Structure 1
Amino acid sequence: MKRKRFLSFMLTAGLTLPVTVSLGKTVETLDDLPIKQPPYLKAGDTIGITSPAGFITMPEILPAIAMMESWGFKVKIGKTIDQRDFTMGGTDQERAADLQQMLDDPEIKAIMCARGGYGLVRIIDLLNFDRFVKTPKWIIGFSDVTVLHCHLNRQFGIASIHSKMCNSFPTDPAVADAMQLATIMSIKKLLKGENMQYQGPIVGINKPGRASGILVGGNLSIIESMAGTKSDLITDGKILFVEDTGEYLYNLDRMFWNLKRTGKLDRLAGLIIGGFKVKPDDPGEEFGKTIYDIVQEKVSHYGYPVAYDFPIGHQKNNFALKCGVKHSLEVGANGSRLSALG
């Protein structure tokens, strides 16, 4: 049946058109949701700490508690701290219940995930976000927490914070490495609503240009694993950032092919390549390409700016970013610059 006749038939018959039918392009209604930013924190507000992925002990999070209290915040400890179910911070049911309690608790204004690891994908569909959507709060973390960042962006259009977690806070801030301290303080600045701007290094293969768009992204392997699910990112018109650790080069190549073949690279506003800690090739199994080669092969024919070696990822210089918020990206002779516009 021809398209005009089909549309006429649907309307005449009183049938509802599917949301994906439009004149010439697919309509993704979830991506049209207005972006919501949770309220910024003020002195006396409470931050909850939970472990929805890997396990962690109370002594390991004490430095984070002390520093956040020094910022003027109260801290509420979840039941998953000191819990352990093999590699995870309690059973799926325990981790889901702890995170759910914090999502629903009106006293908690931000939730910091204690560490990454693995486990969020096992509980994401057990969570109820009804109360959270009405009164959103900042979700903080990276690595496996990318599951939450993707889900919040795709399903609800709610901003979140991609940053270090409790296991990265310095034991003694007075003698901490300057970069470690700067990245931790970037979390405080975001939570308090300060304007954020970050500089990336001069890299010979940076692709110059300017762009603006909603910032989305996180851990590359997690983003790939979300493909085809209701947490899958829509990247059209957005600035995408990616990072990863402990992966073979051939596997990173496969992940970037996934981004390309699923269309996630086609209509970006800009691309940011963060830190990639590569697992050495096995002897005799050398892949023969660097991470730069891998990315350039997939994006060289696109016109948008690309910034390499940006200070995000599983590394010391991992600064806090606001996912789901409009940013500007400038890439030029002096390196790259990312600025939050909201």
Structure 2
Amino acid sequence: MITYPLLQKCGTVGVTAPSSGVELELHDMFKQAVSRSEERGYPVICGETVWTQDRAKSAPAETRAKEFNRMMQDNSVDVIIPPWGGELLIEIIDMLDFESFKNKWILGYSDTSVLLLATTLKTGMATAHGTNFVDLRGEYSDTTTVMWEEVLATKEGESVIQYSSDKFQEKWDHEHPSPEVFHLTEKTTLKTLSDENVTLKGRLLGGCIDVISHLIGTPYGNIDEYQKEFIHNEPILWYFENCNLATTNLRRTLVQMRLAGWFDNCSGIMFGRSSANDTVENYDIKDVYNDLEQDLKVPIIYDIDCGHVPPQMTLINGAYAEVEVKDGKGKIEQWFN
């Protein structure tokens, strides 16, 4: 059975850096995010790892793991939101004390999704794939990003609905800061391989495919055990976002997942927008999706609001979801049961 944390209004946000911390020259930007959170009624406790970054990590693995464990055990911290992702979170996975974790939300994406997926698979506690902390520094949030708060405040036994964004950000423009952080200029259109309307149902699992794939074959990526122990063999509805993989590398990763049994009892797969997906020898991203659909015989949805091309929905690992795509627009309802 899945357990669901509950975000309390004015709950304390714990910010720790299990992957990358914040470089000195970006401290002011991070402090702005802290100020915005506190203005909105959410006090912030920052760990020491937040303020340092060297050799592709915020601190040695032992230091990062101890600080994260401490925040997960601390009753005064209500939700943990890392500043952002990074590269080497996987170094701390075998140092985490999963059995001591309190029932609280962990929210983030990118490299943080290694932590999210491993936590849900090991403990049955739902985790939240969505905004990172630094992207909450704006005067206000766009209508997609802002849903993180409502989603995490959903009570067990209830459901929450989100809709696809109207527009997405094609590229960053740091020279001209936006009041809502992102520069949303391009029309959002969700796509299916059949170009027909699609409805998918299942238990959500997923994250950044570049990094969560490294859990395959480890004690922290046991999908079969998770299905049996926590979701009673209900079908899994997977969502992925691709940060850096070219099409052939993405294809290899998806085949490895299939061979490892990750797609056994799968009801469908959703892919987020990506600025990666580089074509290799005429093998393009749609070829990847077509090959995967032929392998698995399940529907594929792509260009959803998920990942490194903002904004993104808040997707809950472990929640039961129904996703509808109709005429390029999407609706997702997640049940916390």
Matched, 1:292 2:286: yes
With over 3 angstroms needed to count, the CA separation of the structure-2 counterparts of 1:109 and 1:89, relative to structure 1, is same
Partner AA of 2:206 in structure 1: G
SS of residue paired to 1:277 = coil
Distance (Å, rounded) in 1 between the aligned partners of 2:100 and 2:323: 34
How big is each residue's C-alpha offset from its partner over 1:162-193, in whole Å with a ceiling of 9 and x where there is no partner?
112123234x426xxxxx63343122222332
How big is each residue's C-alpha offset from its partner over 1:36-57, in whole Å with a ceiling of 9 and x where there is no partner?
00122222x2110001101214
With over 3 angstroms needed to count, the CA separation of the structure-2 counterparts of 1:202 and 1:190, relative to structure 1, is closer
Taking structure 2 as the reference length, the TM-score comes to 0.80
Q: Which residue of 2 aligns with 1:230?
A: 219
Match of 2:270 among 269, 272, 278: 272
Cα offset, 1:296, TM superposition:
1.2
Matched, 1:98 2:67: yes
Distance (Å, rounded) in 1 between the aligned partners of 2:254 and 2:296: 15
Distance (Å, rounded) in 2 between the aligned partners of 1:265 and 1:126: 28
Is the Cα contact below 8 Å between 1:307 and 1:336 reproduced in 2? no
Q: Which residue of 2 aligns with 1:147?
A: 114
Is the Cα contact below 8 Å between 2:117 and 2:127 reproduced in 1? no
Match of 1:253 among 244, 251, 254: 251
Q: How does 1:184-223 map to 2 (within 5 A)?
A: 184-193=145-154, 195-199=160-164, 201-203=189-191, 205-206=193-194, 208-223=197-212
Is the Cα contact below 8 Å between 2:210 and 2:243 reproduced in 1? no
Is the Cα contact below 8 Å between 1:53 and 1:119 reproduced in 2? yes
With over 3 angstroms needed to count, the CA separation of the structure-2 counterparts of 1:63 and 1:192, relative to structure 1, is farther
Q: What RMSD, in angstroms, separates the aligned Cα atoms of the two structures? A: 2.3
Higher mean displacement: 182-191 or 123-132: 182-191
With over 3 angstroms needed to count, the CA separation of the structure-2 counterparts of 1:71 and 1:322, relative to structure 1, is farther
Is the Cα contact below 8 Å between 1:153 and 1:233 reproduced in 2? no
Is the Cα contact below 8 Å between 1:196 and 1:339 reproduced in 2? yes
Higher relative contact order (CA 8 A, sep 6+): 2
Cα offset, 1:335, TM superposition:
4.1
Matched, 1:72 2:41: yes
Q: Which residue of 2 aligns with 1:162?
A: 129
Distance (Å, rounded) in 1 between the aligned partners of 2:325 and 2:295: 17
Distance (Å, rounded) in 2 between the aligned partners of 1:280 and 1:210: 28
Is the Cα contact below 8 Å between 1:265 and 1:299 reproduced in 2? no
Partner AA of 1:326 in structure 2: Y
Q: Which residue of 1 aligns with 2:182?
A: none
Ranges in structure 1 where 5+ consecutive residues have no aligned partner: 1-33, 175-179
Distance (Å, rounded) in 2 between the aligned partners of 1:300 and 1:183: 32
Partner AA of 2:291 in structure 1: E
Match of 2:97 among 111, 118, 128: 128
Distance (Å, rounded) in 2 between the aligned partners of 1:169 and 1:315: 15
Q: Which residue of 1 aligns with 2:323?
A: 329
Partner AA of 2:306 in structure 1: I
Distance (Å, rounded) in 2 between the aligned partners of 1:82 and 1:125: 24
Partner AA of 1:328 in structure 2: E
SS of residue paired to 1:251 = helix
Taking structure 1 as the reference length, the TM-score comes to 0.79
Distance (Å, rounded) in 2 between the aligned partners of 1:246 and 1:211: 27
With over 3 angstroms needed to count, the CA separation of the structure-2 counterparts of 1:287 and 1:169, relative to structure 1, is farther
Partner AA of 1:38 in structure 2: P
Is the Cα contact below 8 Å between 2:80 and 2:106 reproduced in 1? yes
Distance (Å, rounded) in 1 between the aligned partners of 2:52 and 2:192: 47
SS of residue paired to 1:222 = helix
Give identity over the alignment, percent: 24
Is the Cα contact below 8 Å between 1:329 and 1:339 reproduced in 2? yes
Q: Which has the larger radius of gyration?
A: 1
Distance (Å, rounded) in 2 between the aligned partners of 1:295 and 1:87: 32
Q: Which residue of 2 aligns with 1:241?
A: 239
Partner AA of 2:276 in structure 1: V
Partner AA of 2:152 in structure 1: L
Distance (Å, rounded) in 1 between the aligned partners of 2:190 and 2:95: 44
